[in-house]
A and B are shown apart, each in its own frame.
Chain A
Amino acid sequence: MTIQGHDVRQNLHETVDVCVVGTGAGGAVAAKELAQVGLSVVMLEAGAAHDPKTFSRHMPDMLLRLFWDAGMRTTHDGSVLISQGLGVGGSTVHNLCYAVRPPNPILENWGAEFGIQDLSPRDFSWSLNRVEATLGVKPIQENQVNGLNRIIRQGCRAMGWRGTVQKHNRGPCPDCSADCLLGCPASEPGLGKQSMAVTYIPQALEAGARLYTNCLVEAINTEHGRIVGATARFLSENMQQPRHTDTKTKESREVYQLTVHSKAVILAAGAVNSPQLWLKSRLPDPGKHAGRNLHLHPAIFVGGIFDQEIDAYQGIPQSFYVDHFLNIARNSDSGYLLLPAFGPMALVALNMPSFGQEHRDLMRCYRSIAALLVLLHDRSSGRVALDRQGRPVIRYRLSRADRASLVEGLIHGAQLLFAAGAREIILPYTQRTAITRERDLDVIRRRGIVENDILIASSHPQGTLRMGSDPRKTVVDSFGEAHAVKGLFVVDASLFPTSIGVPPMLTVAAMADRIARRLAANWPP
């Protein structure tokens, strides 16, 4: 059963076995697994339950509907733009469906360095197999590789680098385009994007879980070191913060609350909001690590203008990627991926340098642009803290080594685009740097990575409630349970002890599967 929070006009109470906070890649999986073993489960989601048929190509509207802070969430100095999903299905509703398994050396490193039990690649493949089956993960077929990805592959081959066509969690999707990242209007079970909203959530509901939408959790409640539940507020429709005054009518509006009493709370609000809730609720954390160890996979766009039309907008936006510079077996904490990248006009416009005539001339080349993202497996780590109002403040500074890697990545990206036939390279600096010959690429080294001069984006925040056996260095144990609060489990991207280096959705979902099944087997916590 689904209860739309914006329709609620009274304070409500629930008493259940498990309260799941957030319904994204982690929360949806945990809710389904626990409901299916017969536990009573309630899911609390700050955003709305969207009907995919109402998704439009209008980017500002979709940003307001599907993203925290309407896609304008940034680090405290505005240098990194952080995209995170809001609404039932979380970031899986607008993500780009790369379904990538974690690299084995990463899992081995997490086991060895952080003492995480039962996380060998073999143990973990159990959960990965289950998640892949539910999300319908399959290889992307050759005839689904679009013009953009073919160009990137061609450049990659010409450079002699390693790259592969990946798997994805999509059913047939004839109209697929770069608008995929504004939500997929074709999404339904078996068709289009197989987000959590059309896979795990309906299965959780079918198994008896209850879902509250527009329901912002504001506190996790404990007594004597044990979970007792959570407190939430209902939000007005399409509103990201509870407001006491209706902006349209200027009438004051009562704010209604939901109080949940539960034996377990599963925290799955994403790698920014989960530590925010943790800190706001003043949950114990002996090592004082909650909110620390934030990794962002910072990414920078590099585009090429070609003589021919590529129509990168059309088709599945990302299928191939270059992993030549990510050698985790040799070097577990550095490297980067080169991912094809494009978007609707408004998004491409943001990544173009300059303004006025110069910007406009570049936009006229929209159909002839191929671009990629340098996505960094970052060693730099930041922190989520709170401001006086209890909102998250995200601090993150790139280390010198990571800046150097990004510069190298931009140069490699540009070389790949030249090898594929680009006549000019475009970089998202505020001032245009026209690069038309390979020997001009040194200009990237000279300009470097200067905050607020080059657009840096992040779609993969992670690591802020890290997992491990040592309570002095980590926040939750090998099976996601807080070291110092009985019955509190974390199942989202906050868990990762280090940057994972590859698109994280599958790992988050499989971690949630592993933790939820263990909790079910050892119920009550």
Chain B
Amino acid sequence: MALKFFNPIEIKILNVLTERVVGSDIYDRWKRSYAYKASTPDYSPTLTTIDRFVAGLPLNLQVQLRQGLRLFQWCPILFIGKLGPFTHLSSRDADTYIRSWAQSRFRLRRRLFRGLRDIILLGYYSQVDANIDHAAAAPRRKDDHPGT
């Protein structure tokens, strides 16, 4: 299934960010799971969920998100003194970089971090598999999306 909203660069940024935000070992385990394998080979279920969600947002929010991702990708040199884009950072540097946004003195940076983090968490934790992984007490309904 093709994505409706994100372009290849944005997909890369979101994949790396998802791994860091959700926590990498959980993400790895989940990637080996049935629901993941049963889904589209090119994109993670989290990414497809986020894509579908963002495609339904009002235009002004879509524009803000797109600009935010671009800014996030190109600022490691400014905030942690590392050359190159966010997607080229080692896991350790990526975490330091993300933390620099989360704990920034500047409201705008905190806001952007929070927005990206929340969209990823929304995408990840609405997967039925994530619920199972966390042994949630949620009873399943017939119409649950099977690992979308």
Chain A, interface residues (CB within 8 Å), range? 35 or more
- Min CB gap B95→A, angstroms: 6
Name the residue among B4, B24, B26, B122 with the largest chain A CB count within 10 angstroms: B122
B101-132 contacts to A, CB under 8 A, are 102-103, 107, 110-111, 113-115, 117-118, 121-126, 130-131
Contact B121 A349 (CB under 8 A): yes
Query: Which of A60, A69, A239, A357 is close to B52, meaning CB atoms less than 8 Å apart?
Result: A60
Q: By the criterion CB–CB under 8 Å, are A356 and B138 in contact?
A: no
Instruction: Say yes or no: is A445 at the interface (Cβ < 8 Å to chain B).
Output: no
Nearest to A359 among chain B residues (CB) is B23
Q: Which of A89-97, A209-217, A306-314, A397-405 contacts B (4 or more CB under 8 A)?
A: A306-314
Give per-residue flags for A433-471: 1 if the beta carbon is below 8 A from chain B beta carbons, else 0: 000000000000000000111010000000000000000
Please, which residues of chain B bring their CB within 8 A of the CB of A350? 118, 121-122
> Quick check: B4 and A452 within 8 Å, CB to CB?
no
Q: On chain B, which size bracket covers the interface?
A: 35 or more
| Known contacts A56-B141, A356-B95, A360-B22: A345-B134 contact under CB 8 Å | yes
The A352-368 residues at the B interface (CB cut-off 8 A) are: 354-357, 359-360, 363-364, 366-367
**Candidates B21, B53, B59, B136; contact of A313 at CB < 8 Å:** B136
A431, B103: Cα distance in complex, Å: 7
CA distance A371 to B118 in the complex (A): 19
Neighbouring A residues of B126 by C-beta, 8 Å: 57-60, 344-346
Please determine whether A69 and B95 come into contact, CB atoms closer than 8 angstroms: no
Is B57 among interface residues, defined by CB-CB distance under 8 A? yes
Cβ B53 vs Cβ A60 within 8 A: yes
- Contact residues in A for B47 (Cβ distance below 8 Å): none
Residue from the list A58, A70, A179 in contact with B145, Cβ < 8 A: A58
A360 vs B24: C-alpha distance when bound (angstroms): 10
Contact at B138–A70, with CB atoms within 8 Å?
no
In the bound assembly, the distance between CA atoms of A455 and B145 in angstroms comes to: 28
Q: Is A8 an interface residue (CB 8 A)?
A: no
Residue of A nearest to B49 (CB): A60
Partner of B61, one of A69, A309, A364, A451: A69
Complex: A389 Cα to B58 Cα, angstroms: 13
Given contacts A54-B143, A452-B107, contact A78 B138 (CB under 8 A): no
Residues of A within 8 A of B144 (CB): 56-58
A246, CB-defined interface residue at 8 Å: no
Complex CA gap A219/B141 in Å reads 41
Contact B107–A311 (Cβ < 8 Å): no
Beta-carbon contact of A359 and B21 below 8 Å:
yes
Give the residues in chain B near A423, CB-CB below 8 Å. none
Residues of A256-293 contacting chain B, CB below 8 A: none
A60: chain B residues within 8 A (beta carbon) = 49-50, 52-53, 122-123, 126
Among B20, B98, B107, the residue within 8 A (CB) of A77 is B107
Complex Cα gap A199–B68 (Å): 43
In chain A, positions 201-254 with a C-beta closer than 8 Å to chain B are 238-241, 247
Q: Write the B78-94 contact mask toward A (1 if CB under 8 angstroms, else 0).
A: 00000000000000000
A57, B125: Cβ atoms closer than 8 Å: no
Cβ of B55 under 8 Å from chain A = yes
In the bound complex, how far is the Cα of B20 from the Cα of A347, in angstroms?
Answer: 19
Q: A381 at the A/B interface (Cβ < 8 Å)?
A: no
Known A238-B56, A313-B136, A313-B137: A451·B131 in contact at CB below 8 Å: no
A239 to B62, CA, bound (A): 14
Contact B58 A240 (CB under 8 A): yes
Nearest neighbor of A59 in chain B, beta-carbon distance: B126
Asked if A385 is at the interface (CB within 8 A of a chain B CB), the reply is: no
List the B side residues contacting A175 at CB < 8 Å.
139
Given contacts A69-B61, A346-B121, A389-B60, 5 further A-B contacts (CB under 8 A): A60-B49, A247-B55, A345-B134, A356-B20, A451-B107
Please list 16 pairs of residues, one from A and one from B, whose beta carbons are closer than 8 Å in the complex, sorted by A's number: A56-B141, A57-B140, A61-B145, A185-B141, A240-B58, A247-B55, A345-B138, A346-B122, A346-B126, A348-B125, A355-B21, A355-B23, A366-B136, A367-B136, A430-B102, A453-B110
